[in-house]
A and B are shown apart, each in its own frame.
Chain A
């Protein structure tokens, strides 16, 4: 089987169309993950014991089960319960929920990395809880989180092909439909691989820069 440049060129527009959906899904998923992750992190620190433990269990459960199955649940089970979502929305919610559990760990790590003395100093200078968070804790907690968050953003980007399993027409799905209609697998599959590789190689360089700029927490 030989590589056919002309064929590769002809399917490029269709693949790029899928690539656009991939990027949209990643961006929306990341937004969901960032917000939900913060919610998880805060609930887990809650002084209300049952709330904290229940959140802990939900987070562990989501982290311990495959994203693909979670996507199936959102896409196939929820409609039976009366909640019908378009494929892309289901995918964004699924990915966002899954990565929110990872983001929650990053938030937690970042907040716990702030030295105890900082909390005590804030108390000693009579800052309110709000002032403590905004002026003392967050400015120190957020920068070390950035590289870790970027890492998970990249991981999520690489997982978007799973959305093809719930009929989202992203890059992988476009490649599969090309392959199925032309019976040529080499070009579409290789091009998908190259596109992902290109984005992640560039991102890894960016990530190294972020790590140098902001330092890193806990690996």
Chain B
């Protein structure tokens, strides 16, 4: 039974991989969400179509299929990715597609008169987006972004299936070595729950910060 300390470090090491995947995946998803979300609102038809195709494709298939495709099929075309890179890429592109719809929805939710006011005071398109539209759209996006980040955290468990040693993978290792099923799985469930609670807490804090001063507006 003295091995339990070793198994504990194994699972905590896996937890660190899970955290890394979540942070890197979320960062990629955030960038992709804004690029694709703004792309769908672009004046150029080609850009709009590309963004739409990307969004529909990644929302239409599951993260699991995408991950396997990136990990097993992409190398055959000469793109060699480590499991971590494949994981981050699949998570970021998948959740980014959902995020893009959030970005688009929030921007469209800013009332028309805001746009007209910008025209009236002669702002450029960039100034309008940067100083008027986005500051009002961001608070609308945050709650859903928080949910998306939690979905991303949950989806990281799937990378264990391409033998990336995340928390779920390590729990399986502990299970097969000790024959004990309850303890490793109960433990990682608690850690996942703690992590998702941290995310939702952080998003609520941040939400309060960005909505400060918007009371009269909404």
Binding site for B on A (CB under 8 A): 1, 61, 63-70, 72-73, 76-77, 80, 158-162, 165, 172, 179, 185-186, 189-190, 192-193, 196-197, 200-201, 204, 219
Q: List 15 A-B contacts (CB under 8 A).
A: A64-B193, A66-B154, A66-B156, A72-B168, A72-B172, A72-B185, A76-B185, A77-B185, A80-B182, A160-B62, A172-B65, A189-B65, A193-B61, A197-B61, A219-B105
Contacts of A179 in B (CB 8 A): 72
Per DSSP, chain B at the interface is helix
B160 near A68: Cβ-Cβ < 8 Å:
yes
Contacts of B197 in A (CB 8 A): 64
Report the separation of the CA atoms of residues A183 and B118 in the bound assembly, to the nearest whole angstrom. Answer: 59
Contacts of A67 in B (CB 8 A): 154, 157
Residue B145 interfacial (CB < 8 Å): no
Report the separation of the CA atoms of residues A80 and B150 in the bound assembly, to the nearest whole angstrom. Answer: 30
Q: Give the A-B pair count, Cβ closer than 8 A.
A: 104
**B147, closest chain A residue (CB):** A63
Q: Of residues A64, A68, A73, which shows the largest number of chain B Cβ atoms within 10 Å of its Cβ?
A: A64
**Residue-by-residue, is B63-97 near A (CB-CB < 8 Å gives 1, otherwise 0)?**
01110110011001100000000000000000000
List the one stretch of B2-10, B25-33, B52-60 in contact with chain A: B52-60
A200 near B61: Cβ-Cβ < 8 Å:
yes
**B150, closest chain A residue (CB):** A64
B189 near A1: Cβ-Cβ < 8 Å:
no
Across the A-B interface, give the 3 residue pairs with the lowest CB-CB distance, nearest first: A64-B196, A66-B157, A158-B62
Report the separation of the CA atoms of residues A70 and B189 in the bound assembly, to the nearest whole angstrom. Answer: 8
A179 to B: closest C-beta gap in Å: 7
Contacts of B64 in A (CB 8 A): 159, 161-162, 172
A203 to B: closest C-beta gap in Å: 9
A187 to B: closest C-beta gap in Å: 10
Report the separation of the CA atoms of residues A92 and B189 in the bound assembly, to the nearest whole angstrom. Answer: 20
**A61, closest chain B residue (CB):** B193
Report the separation of the CA atoms of residues A172 and B188 in the bound assembly, to the nearest whole angstrom. Answer: 25
Contacts of A68 in B (CB 8 A): 157-158, 160-161, 168
Residue B175 interfacial (CB < 8 Å): yes
B157 near A197: Cβ-Cβ < 8 Å:
no
B217 to A: closest C-beta gap in Å: 20
Query: Known: A1-B76, A65-B196. Contact between A204 and B60, CB under 8 A?
Result: yes
A189 near B76: Cβ-Cβ < 8 Å:
no
A219 near B144: Cβ-Cβ < 8 Å:
yes
Report the separation of the CA atoms of residues A162 and B73 in the bound assembly, to the nearest whole angstrom. Answer: 19
A161 near B65: Cβ-Cβ < 8 Å:
yes
**Residue-by-residue, is B181-199 near A (CB-CB < 8 Å gives 1, otherwise 0)?**
1100110110011001100
B77 near A69: Cβ-Cβ < 8 Å:
no
Q: Which of the residues B56, B59, B72, B105 comes within 8 Å of A189, measured between beta carbons?
A: B72
B77 near A1: Cβ-Cβ < 8 Å:
yes
Report the separation of the CA atoms of residues A41 and B188 in the bound assembly, to the nearest whole angstrom. Answer: 27
A196 near B60: Cβ-Cβ < 8 Å:
yes
**A157, closest chain B residue (CB):** B62
Report the separation of the CA atoms of residues A179 and B73 in the bound assembly, to the nearest whole angstrom. Answer: 11
Report the separation of the CA atoms of residues A204 and B130 in the bound assembly, to the nearest whole angstrom. Answer: 32
**B188, closest chain A residue (CB):** A69
Report the separation of the CA atoms of residues A73 and B161 in the bound assembly, to the nearest whole angstrom. Answer: 16
B172 near A159: Cβ-Cβ < 8 Å:
no
Q: Of residues B64, B150, B186, which shows the largest number of chain A Cβ atoms within 10 Å of its Cβ?
A: B64
Query: Known: A77-B182, A159-B62. Contact between A65 and B69, CB under 8 A?
Result: no
